[in-house]
Amino acid sequence: MRALQLFGDRDLRLVALDPPPPPGPGEVQIRVRAVGLNHIDVWGFRGMAFAKRKLPLVVGAEASGEVAATGDGVAGLRPGQKVVMYGALTCGTCRACREGRDNLCEDVGGIMGFHLDGFCRERVNMPARLVVPVPDAVSVEDAACAPIAFGTVQHMLFDNARLEPGETILVHAGGSGIGTAAIKMAKAIGCTVITTVGDDAKADKARALGADHVVNYRTERFEGEVRRLTRRKGVDVVFEHVGAETWNGSLLCLKRGGRLVTCGSTSGVSASMNLMQLFQQQYRIFGSFGCSIRNIREALDKMAGGLTPVVDSLFPLEEFARGLERLESRRVFGKILVTL
Ligand SMILES: [Zn+2]
């Protein structure tokens, strides 16, 4: 079967691998159809000295497919059914796993496509526990945005920041995969959305998604614009993933008691902050990484209800690296998918 392996930093090769054996008890074999690209793929591709992993490694951290076969004892999944996969090999038995807080697993085996072989291969065997059925109304391409992009945003907005209807939210980088999802999810519950983008073409597209106010961060200081738009009150929630460049501006955008939730730091990992501002303003700051399996089901239900992902572009498997270049270039609007 065809697979895409990383042999070293920025060294991806299309290879032929033996297909997996028939699925064992409790396992499902999946024919992979679409893989979503995320910043974790960029980190993996560039190489991260501290990431424990063995090369070559099959890339791809977020994917959808169809059930090809099921092993003994697997209920509720049938051949041909569309599915998505939870891409971290959680233990399934620790307290966090038992309580459905999968992304806080105390004994996680690693993230597929980053520490362990991922989804850029035609077939993969998975524990049935980590396989989530996709509603009929959702396309296999859209479904590929559920395990990381939509799941992460669902977890950030509703489990962590506890966003409520009628609140005001600042969504950074409204043209990114998660930014587009955050705008749509916040609008769907009746929030006022302010978003930042890097050019005017993206501003129009963000408005078309429902954003109420769009700030071009290259020409305006976003924190000043947010203060003006909220009549100096500030927003209830900031959706952060830009990091060092925007961190202090983001805090300045919050109202007293506001919540900041972050899942990324694409512009840099270190920032200093004013601790007096933190406690006097009673900010609540949430670090968020990944999501639970429940969040993936919630994301798929939203897609089935019409809240579909914005897809920027589709690339064939052999052009995975071109997709990553596009992701890094910030020229994207929405998700980049690779199809198999
Ligand atoms: Zn666990």
Name the 3-class secondary structure at 40: helix
- Separation between Cα atoms, residue 58 and residue 12, nearest integer Å: 9
From CA 110, how far away is CA 88, in angstroms rounded?
Answer: 6
Contacts of residue 26, defined as CB under 8 A and 6 or more positions apart, other chains included, come to 71, 72, 73, 74, 127, 128, 129
Distance 60 CA to ligand 1 centre (A): 22
179 φ/ψ angles, rounded to the nearest 5 degrees: -65, -45
Whether cis (ω within 30° of 0) applies to the bond prior to 79 is: no
Please, which residues have CB within 8 angstroms of residue 142's CB and are 6 or more apart in sequence?
A: 303, 308, 309, 311
Q: What is the C-alpha to C-alpha distance for residues 306 and 95, in angstroms, rounded to an integer?
A: 35
Please tell me the distance between residue 99's alpha carbon and the centre of ligand 1 in angstroms.
Answer: 9
Residue 3's pLDDT is what? Answer: 98
Q: How far is the CA of 262 from the centre of ligand 1 (A)?
A: 23
Q: Which residues contact 146 (CB under 8 A, 6 or more apart)?
A: 64, 84, 132, 134, 296, 299, 300, 303
The rounded Å distance from CA 160 to ligand 1 centre is 20
pLDDT (0 to 100) of residue 50: 64
How many other C-beta atoms are found inside a 10 Å radius of the C-beta of residue 162? 14
C-alpha angle 5/6/11, rounded to 5°?
A: 120
Q: Distance, CA 302 to ligand 1 centroid (Å)?
A: 27
Instruction: Calculate how far, in angstroms, residue 87's C-alpha sits from the geometric centre of ligand 1.
Output: 13
Residue 181 near residue 155, CB atoms below 8 Å: no
Ligand 1 centre distance from Cα of residue 100 (Å): 9
Predicted pLDDT at 95: 97
Cα angle at 175 between 38 and 231, to 5 degrees? 130
Q: How far is the CA of 135 from the centre of ligand 1 (A)?
A: 27
Question: Residue 89 Cα, ligand 1 centroid: separation in angstroms?
Answer: 9
Q: How do the pLDDT tens digits run along the chain, 340 residues long? A: 999 999 998 999 999 999 999 999 999 999 999 999 999 999 899 887 667 788 999 999 999 999 999 999 999 999 999 999 999 999 999 999 999 999 999 999 999 999 999 999 999 999 999 999 999 999 999 999 999 999 999 999 999 999 999 999 999 999 999 999 999 999 999 999 999 999 999 999 999 999 999 999 999 999 999 999 999 999 999 999 999 999 999 999 999 999 999 999 989 999 999 999 999 999 999 999 999 999 999 999 999 999 999 999 999 999 999 999 999 988 899 999 999 9
Q: Ligand 1 centre and the CA of 111: distance in Å?
A: 13
Give residue 90 CA to ligand 1 midpoint distance, Å: 5
Q: What is 265-299 written as a DSSP string?
A: -TT-S-----HHHHHHTT-EEEE--S--HHHHHHH
The whole-angstrom separation of Cα 30 and Cα 125 is: 6
First to last CA, the chain: 11
Kindly give the distance from the C-alpha atom of residue 104 to the centroid of ligand 1, in angstroms, as a whole number: 7
| Cα 331 to ligand 1 centroid, rounded to whole Å | 37
Beta-carbon contacts of residue 263 (< 8 Å; ≥ 6 apart): 152, 156, 178, 240, 241, 287, 288, 289
The string over 24-62, giving b where at least 16 C-beta atoms fall within 10 Å of a residue's C-beta and e elsewhere, is: eeebbbbbbbbbbbbbbbeebbeeeeeeebeebbbbbbb
Distance 92 CA to ligand 1 centre (A): 5
Q: What is the pLDDT of residue 53?
A: 85
Q: Which of 76, 142, 87 is nearest to 120 (CA)?
A: 87
C-alpha 125 – ligand 1 centre gap (Å): 19
